[in-house]
Amino acid sequence: MIPSYTTDDVLRILHLSEQTLRACCRAASYPSRQTRRQPHFTFQDLLILRTAKGLLEAGISVGRVRKVLASLKRQLPDDQALSHVKIYADGRRVVVWDAAGQWQPDSGQFLLNFDVDEVKGSGKVRTFVRRGVAPRTRLTAQQWYERALDLENDSPEEACHAYEEAVKADPQLIEAHLNLGLLHHHGDRLDQAETCYRRAIESAPDEPRGYFNLAGVLKQKDDRQGAIAAYTAAVQRQPDLMEAHEQLALLYDAEGNTTMAFRHGSASYQLKRSRARRARPSRLSPPRPR
C-alpha cells in the first residue's frame, strides 16, 4: 500500500505554516487541497514540497520555483527521485548536485566546481533534500539524444545541453551535431551553428546535410564563396538535392557567373518537374464494382 499523508501530517513533518504550505503547493503546481484531514499527499509529494520550501526560503520566486521543478522532472531519469540529489540556492541561482556533476535546472547548463563553490560560499545558501545520495546513472549518447528531442519544443536551452552531452559521449553522432546546429541557427547564433555543422561534416564527410546546412549559415554571413563550395559539396554527394541547386543558381547569378547559374537553375527545374510527376495522382479510374 502506498503511504499517504494528511495536510496536518505535512505541516508537522515539514514544519510549515498553512500559509507557507499554500505557497509551496502553488510553486509545485499542485491544486488546492479540499480538506485538511483526507490523505491527499504521497511521499513523492513530500519531497517536492520540501524542495519547494527550501527554494522559497532561499529567496527564489514562486514562478521560478515552478520552472525549476518542471525542469527537474524532465532532466532526472524516470527512476531518479528528488531524494537522490542535493540542491543549493542563493536567491540568484539554483544548482543541483549529484554524482554525475552540477547543473542549473532552469537552463540545463552544467557547472564547474568553482561555480558551485561560489553559490555555496555566498552565505545565503540553503541545502535541502536528503544527503548520502545514490549516484545518478550516466546516460548514453543515444539517451541524451532522445532526451534532447523531447526537450526541443518546450525548452530549447535544455535541448542544446542534452545534444552537447550526446556528442561528448559519441562525437560520431551526426544527428546530434546537426540538430544542435539547427537550434543555434534558429536562435541566430551563427558562429555556434557553423561549428556544429563543421563537426557534423568531420564525423560523416559523405553525408550531404552537413554541407547543405553549413552553406546556409555561410550565406547568412555573406560568405558567398564559402556557401558555393559547401552547396557544391552537398550536390556532389547527393546530385538530386534540388534545394542546393536552387541556391547555387542564385549565388552564381549574384556573382555574375551566368553559365553556372543557368546550369544549376536548369538542374533545379528538371528535379522539380521530376518530383511533380512522381507526386501526380494516377488518372486511372478504379474498376467499377460488378
For residue 205 the three cell numbers come to 564527410
pLDDT digits over 160-172, tens only?
888 998 999 999 9
Question: Is the torsion defined by CA of 92, 98, 102, 108 positive or negative?
Answer: negative
For Cα atoms 44, 115, 197, give the angle at the middle one, nearest 5 degrees: 90
CB 129 within 8 A of CB 50: yes
Q: What single-letter amino acid sits at 181?
A: G
- Strands across the sheet containing 101-104: 109-111, 101-104, 94-98, 86-89, 126-128
Residue 184, number of CB atoms within 10 A of its CB? 22
> Tens place of pLDDT for every residue, the chain, 290 residues?
456 778 888 888 888 888 888 888 888 877 655 444 455 787 777 777 877 887 787 777 778 778 777 777 666 654 445 555 667 665 556 666 555 555 566 554 443 333 434 434 443 334 444 333 333 446 788 888 888 887 787 778 878 888 998 999 999 999 999 999 999 999 999 999 999 999 999 999 999 999 999 999 999 999 999 999 999 999 999 999 999 999 999 999 999 999 999 999 999 999 998 888 876 665 554 555 54
Residue 64, number of CB atoms within 10 A of its CB? 16
Tell me how far apart the alpha carbons of residues 251 and 228 are, in angstroms, rounded to a whole number. Answer: 7
Tell me how far apart the alpha carbons of residues 105 and 115 are, in angstroms, rounded to a whole number. Answer: 14
The full length of the chain comes to: 290
For residue 199 the three cell numbers come to 563537426
Nearest C-alpha neighbor of 216 from the set 239, 196, 236:
196
Count the alpha carbons within 13 Å of 14 in the hemisphere toward its beta carbon: 31
Residue 37 carries which DSSP code? S
How much is the pTM? 0.57
Tell me how far apart the alpha carbons of residues 65 and 221 are, in angstroms, rounded to a whole number. Answer: 39
How would DSSP label each residue in 75-135? Answer: HS-TT--GGG-EEEE-SS-EEEEETTEEEETTTTEEE-HHHHHHHHTSS--EEES-SSPPP
Residue 4 carries which DSSP code? E
Domains and CATH numbers, the chain: 4-29+42-128 (no CATH), 141-278 (1.25.40.10)
Q: Give the helix/strand (H/E) hosting 5.
A: strand 4-5
pLDDT digits over 51-69, tens only?
788 778 777 777 877 877 7
